[in-house]
Amino acid sequence: MTERLLDISGLHTGYDGVAVVRDLELHVDPGEVVALLGPNGAGKTTTLMTISGLVQILEGSVSVMGRPVPKLRQAQRVARWGVTHVPENRGVLFQLTVRENLLLAKTRGRVDLDRAVEFFPALGPLMSRRGGLLSGGEQQMLALGRAIVAEPKLLMVDEMSLGLAPVIYEELMPVVRRIADETGAGVLLVEQHVDLALEVSDRGYVLNHGDLVMSGPAAELLANRALLDASYLGVESLE
């Protein structure tokens, strides 16, 4: 088998030496959308930050396309391997214009601005507006648009729905699927809206209090709603 796009095994990670996520096993292959689910404080965001190199690994390993994630000071290298991380607060730079934000999608080489507009036509007329002046939905479009033009091999999106109206994120969610299908990128999706996320995903993992409590194909997780809810509520015995 070829190398996994993202391979996490036996991962313990957290802050100041205290593990927030324990013993995580997770992988993402090219072209698939994987949902990482769980209630508040489960450790989803911490996991993504660890993959991006912004949080120090305590134990275990994280490798992206066979390369281990570097130390904190070298975090920018992960992005250059083709990992694009859309953080929870979207990562839109408020002082820069939409165009400038998009230009930063790549550290070198031409950036295809039109492609972002093709996915999100609404961005077209906003090109010279500052990021800080966009609405929440526009900011999320910009963040996703930037992720698309970055032509990532692995795309990680953190809480896309946060602070957005349902009409907006229901429109954005299928875009993620489209990226995976069209470009063959692997997508790791962190979401609190379970149904919405699983609808577009191939597989899913459920974290609770830092432990992996469930995983499997999306359809299976959806079919087993009771178990899923129980895992969210942290019920001790699931048999």
Report the interface residues with another protein, using CB under 8 A: 52, 54, 73, 75-80, 85, 87, 91, 93-96, 100, 103-108, 130-133, 150
What's the rounded Cα separation, in Å, for the pair 117 and 125?
9
**Nearer to another protein (CB atom), residue 12 or residue 106:** 106
- DSSP annotation of 196: H
**Nearer to another protein (CB atom), residue 105 or residue 212:** 105
**Nearer to another protein (CB atom), residue 27 or residue 130:** 130
Minimum gap (Å) between residue 8 Cβ and another protein: 18
Minimum gap (Å) between residue 81 Cβ and another protein: 9
Provide the β-strand partners of residue 11: 24
Residue 94 makes CB contacts below 8 A (sequence gap 6+) with 130, 131, 132
- The token pair that represents 103 in the structure block: 């230009």
| CB contact at 8 A, 164 and 91 | no
Secondary structure (3-state) at 162: coil
| CB contact at 8 A, 173 and 200 | yes
Minimum gap (Å) between residue 72 Cβ and another protein: 10
**Nearer to another protein (CB atom), residue 2 or residue 73:** 73
Minimum gap (Å) between residue 139 Cβ and another protein: 11
Minimum gap (Å) between residue 43 Cβ and another protein: 19
What's the rounded Cα separation, in Å, for the pair 206 and 189?
12
**Nearer to another protein (CB atom), residue 149 or residue 173:** 149
**How far is C-alpha 99 from the geometric centre of its chain's CA atoms?**
23
